[in-house]
Amino acid sequence: MNRVVNVARMQLINKWTFLGIPAIIMVSAFLITLAIWAMIPASGETFYSGASQAVMWYFMALGIQSLTLTFPFSQAMSVSRRTFYIGTVGLFATVALVISVLYYLLGLVEVATNGWGFNGQLYALDWIANEHAVVQILFYFIAMVALFMIGFWFATIYKRWQATGMLLTWIAIAVVLIGLLGLTSWQGWWPLVGQWFVAQTPLSVSAWAALFCAVLAGGSYLTLRRATP
Amino acid sequence: MNNPTTPAAIELRQVTKTYRDAKALDEVSLRLEGNRIYGLLGRNGAGKTTLMSVLTGQGFQTSGEALVFGQRPYENDGVLSRICFIRESQKYPDDFNARQAFKSASLFFKQWDQAFADQLVEEFQLPLNRRIKKLSRGQLSAVGVIIGLASRAEITFFDEPYLGLDAVARQIFYDRLVEDFAAHPRTIILSSHLIDEVANLLEHVVLIDRGRIIMDDDAEAIRGTAVTVAGNASAVQSFAAGREVLHRESLGSLASWTVEGRMTNAERAEAAELGLELAPVSLQQLVVRKTMAATDAVVDTDSELEVLK
C-alpha cells in the first residue's frame, strides 16, 4: 500500500504535470471565454462555450504521458506493474474527482451570477445543470476518467507492441465501427438508434461511460502486465 | 522451498529467452550467493541485459525459472523492493531533473542514503537542476550510478554503468563502490566491457556468450587457469601437446600460445628446461580467448553438421 502511495508521490514530484498545467488550462480557458463574451455585443441570448472541456482533453495527453515517460522509470525504481498501475490511476482519479467537484461548484456560481454577468453557459450546461449534484459530479468525473484511460491504454499498446500494435488496433477499431454502421443501415435501425440517443440522460450516459471505463481499465492493466520498459 | 538452508540471492534454472529469430538466453542455470561483487562479462548481445531484465521482473523468460531470494521477482513488490537495476539506456520522465530522480529513488529504496548521494553528485560534478534529457551521456550515466550506489539495495545491478564517463569519473565509481561495499556488504552485479579496469573489483566472474554461460568461477581461481607459453615454436608445440589451446600466435620460428590449465611446479621446471617463458594471462585476455574459442567451437559444430547433411 505504501508503495502505491509512493507511486502517486513520484508522479507528483514534478508539480506541473498533474497540478500546474491543469490549473493553467482551466484558468486561461475561463478568462479567454469571458474576454470573448465581453467583446460580443449582448443580444439577450445565452452564450454557450465548450471551453470547460479543455482540461479534460489534457487528461488524455496525461494518460499517454504518465505511461510512456513514467512507466520505464518506475521499473527502475523496482515498482511492480500492478503497483504502478494502481498508484497512477488512483492519483488520476483523485485529481479528476477534485476537478469534477470544482466544476459543480463553478456551475453554482455561474447560475448565481447570471452566467458571470454575461448570461453565459460554461459550466452549468443546460443538459446537466438541473440534475442532482451527485449526478453532475459523476458525469464530469466519468468523462475525465474515460479520456485518461483511452490515452493510457493506447500508450500501453504502443509500449508493448510498438507501431504494429497501434496500426492493428486502429484497423480493428475502424473495422468494428464500419461493421456496426453497416449493420445498422442494413437492418434499418437508424430511427431506433436516434430514439435511443435522445432518451439518454446524464445519469445513463455516465453509466454507459462507466462501463466503457471499466473495460478500458481492465484492458490497460492486462496490456501493462506483460509490457517491458 | 523445502531446502533448509537460506535460498541463494540469485538462482536461474534452465532459463531460456527467445526473441523472434534468436536465443538471447539458452538454458542458463546459475546460482549466485549473496554479499559478493560479481562481474557479468560478455560481448554486446551476449545476453547480459536480458539476464538482468529477467532477474528484475522487467523482462520475461520464454521458459525456465528465475528466483531472487528464493522467490519469483515478477510483480513481486516484496522482492523487487530489495533490488535496484538501472539500465544502460534507462529512461527518465522528460521533465525530471537529477534532483527529482533522486527524490523518487528515496521514496522507493528503504536504505537510500541522501548524504552519500549528495557526496557522489559533488564528485561526479553532476548538475542537479538541469533536465535529464539535456544531460551529456556521461552525466546521464552518473545519474544511474548514483541511484545504484546510494540506494544500497540488497542486490544492485550495474549495466555498463560507465558509458561516457571519463577515466576520473570511472575511478571514482570503482573506489566508492569498493568502499561502500566494505561498509555495507551487499550483492553487486556489474556488467562490463572494460574488463581490465574492473578485474580487481570482482570476486566472481560469470562469462556469457550467445546466451550461454561459458565461465562461472571465482576471480581468484580463474586468474591461474590459463597461461601464455612463449618460445621456440616446436618447443611450444611439444609443451602444449595434450592441452586445450585457446590461442595461437607466431612470428617466424617463435610462438606464443595461450593454454588452459594450472601449471604444477614440475611443469614450470619442464618449461624452463625447454627454454620457454610462462606468463600469466590477464582476466581480459582470458575472457577474449575463451569467448573466441567458444565461437570457434560453435562454428566447428556448425560446419560439421553441414558436412553431415
A chain contacts of residue B82, beta-carbon cutoff 8 Å: 78
**Rounded CA separation B203/B304 (Å):** 38
Over residues B186-241, the pLDDT tens digits come to 999 999 888 988 999 999 999 999 999 999 999 988 888 889 999 999 999 999 98
A chain contacts of residue B107, beta-carbon cutoff 8 Å: 6, 9-10, 77
Residues B110 and B31 in one domain: yes
- The answer to whether residue B5 scores a pLDDT higher than 80 is no
Share of chain B above pLDDT 90, in %: 74
CATH at residue B301: 3.30.70
In single-letter form, the type of residue at position B34 comes to: G
**Mean pLDDT (chain A, rounded):** 91
Residues B215 and B227 in one domain: no
Whether A229 has its CB under 8 Å from any CB of chain B: the answer is yes
Q: Which three cell numbers stand for residue A200?
A: 439518454
Which residues are bridge partners to B189 per DSSP? B38, B157
- Could you tell me which chain A residue has the CA closest to the CA of B57? A80
Residue A206 per-residue DSSP state: H
**Measured in whole angstroms, how far is the alpha carbon of residue A58 from the centre of its chain?**
8
**Domain end among B193, B221, B249:** B221
| B5 within domain boundaries | no
| B71 within domain boundaries | yes
Verify whether the Cβ–Cβ distance A229 to B57 is below 8 Å: no
Residues B105 and B250 in one domain: no
Residue B160 per-residue DSSP state: S
- The answer to whether residue B15 scores a pLDDT higher than 60 is yes
Whether A5 has its CB under 8 Å from any CB of chain B: the answer is no
Residues B200 and B262 in one domain: no
Over residues B247-268, the pLDDT tens digits come to 899 998 999 999 988 888 999 9
Q: Give the minimum alpha-carbon distance from A219 to chain B in angstroms, rounded to a whole number.
A: 18
Residues B205 and B257 in one domain: no
Residue B177: give the domain boundaries: 10-221
Higher pLDDT, B193 or A70: A70
**Domain end among B201, B221, B241:** B221
Mean pLDDT, to the nearest integer, of B269-279? 92
Of B60, B77, B107, which has the smallest distance from its Cβ to A9's Cβ? B107
Verify whether the Cβ–Cβ distance A70 to B93 is below 8 Å: yes
Residues B203 and B233 in one domain: no
Range of lowest pLDDT (A174-188, B23-37, B171-185, B212-226): B212-226
Q: Which three cell numbers stand for residue A185?
A: 443501415
The sheet with strand B23-32 has its strands ordered as B23-32, B10-18, B63-68
**Rounded CA separation B212/B26 (Å):** 6
Q: Give the minimum alpha-carbon distance from A72 to chain B in angstroms, rounded to a whole number.
A: 6
User: Contact B43/B6 with Cβ under 8 angstroms?
Assistant: no
- The answer to whether residue B4 scores a pLDDT higher than 60 is no
Into how many domains does chain B fold? 2
**Rounded CA separation A214/A149 (Å):** 9
Mean pLDDT, to the nearest integer, of A212-221? 94
Verify whether the Cβ–Cβ distance A3 to B108 is below 8 Å: yes
A chain contacts of residue B88, beta-carbon cutoff 8 Å: none
What pLDDT sits at residue B172? 96
CB-CB neighbours of A93 under 10 Å? 16
Residue B62 per-residue DSSP state: S
Residues B36 and B138 in one domain: yes
Whether A9 has its CB under 8 Å from any CB of chain B: the answer is yes
Q: Give the minimum alpha-carbon distance from B151 to chain A in angstroms, rounded to a whole number.
A: 10
In single-letter form, the type of residue at position B229 comes to: V
Q: Give the minimum alpha-carbon distance from A155 to chain B in angstroms, rounded to a whole number.
A: 15
Residues B139 and B59 in one domain: yes
- Could you tell me which chain B residue has the CA closest to the CA of A81? B75
Give the domain ranges of chain A. 2-225
Verify whether the Cβ–Cβ distance A13 to B104 is below 8 Å: yes
Over residues A123-158, the pLDDT tens digits come to 888 778 888 889 999 999 999 999 999 999 999 999
Whether A225 has its CB under 8 Å from any CB of chain B: the answer is yes
Residues B229 and B129 in one domain: no
Residues B142 and B195 in one domain: yes
Over residues B35-77, the pLDDT tens digits come to 999 999 999 889 999 999 999 999 999 999 999 999 999 999 9
| B82 within domain boundaries | yes
Which residues are bridge partners to B209 per DSSP? B212
Q: Give the minimum alpha-carbon distance from B202 to chain A in angstroms, rounded to a whole number.
A: 24
A chain contacts of residue B80, beta-carbon cutoff 8 Å: 78-80
Q: Which of A62, A69, A77, A88 to mutate to test the interface with B (most CBs of B within 10 A)?
A: A77
Q: Burial letters for B246-261: b for 16+ Cβ neighbours within 10 Å, e otherwise?
A: bbeeeeeeebbbbbbe
* Predicted complex ipTM: 0.88
**Domain end among B200, B221, B242:** B221
Which burial class, exposed, middle or buried, applies to A5 when counting CB atoms under 10 A from its CB (0-12, 13-18, 19+)?
middle
Share of chain B above pLDDT 70, in %: 95
- Could you tell me which chain A residue has the CA closest to the CA of B58? A228
Residues B227 and B147 in one domain: no
B chain contacts of residue A70, beta-carbon cutoff 8 Å: 93
- The answer to whether residue B303 scores a pLDDT higher than 70 is no
- SS3 breakdown of chain B: % helix, strand, coil, rounded to 5? 40, 30, 35
Question: Crossing angle for the helix pair B167-183 and B137-150, nearest 10 degrees?
Answer: 0
What pLDDT sits at residue B300? 65
| B52 within domain boundaries | yes
Residues B47 and B190 in one domain: yes
| B214 within domain boundaries | yes
Q: Give the minimum alpha-carbon distance from A222 to chain B in angstroms, rounded to a whole number.
A: 13
**Rounded CA separation A83/A68 (Å):** 16
Q: At CB < 8 A and 24+ separation, what contacts does A107-115 make? A: A107/A136, A115/A46, A115/A47
What pLDDT sits at residue B2? 47
- Could you tell me which chain A residue has the CA closest to the CA of B59? A228
Q: Which three cell numbers stand for residue A169?
A: 488496433
- Could you tell me which chain B residue has the CA closest to the CA of A160? B59
Of B53, B75, B147, which has the smallest distance from its Cβ to A81's Cβ? B75
Q: Of B85, B88, B99, which Cα lies nearest the Cα of B148?
A: B85
CATH at residue B86: 3.40.50.300
Which pLDDT band, with edges at 50, 70 and 90, does A103 fall under? very high
Q: Which three cell numbers stand for residue B194?
A: 572494460
What pLDDT sits at residue B123? 97
pTM of the model: 0.90
In single-letter form, the type of residue at position B60 comes to: F
Which pLDDT band, with edges at 50, 70 and 90, does A1 fall under? low
Which pLDDT band, with edges at 50, 70 and 90, does B1 fall under? very low
User: Contact A122/A52 with Cβ under 8 angstroms?
Assistant: yes
Of A3, A70, A228, which has the smallest distance from its Cβ to B58's Cβ? A228
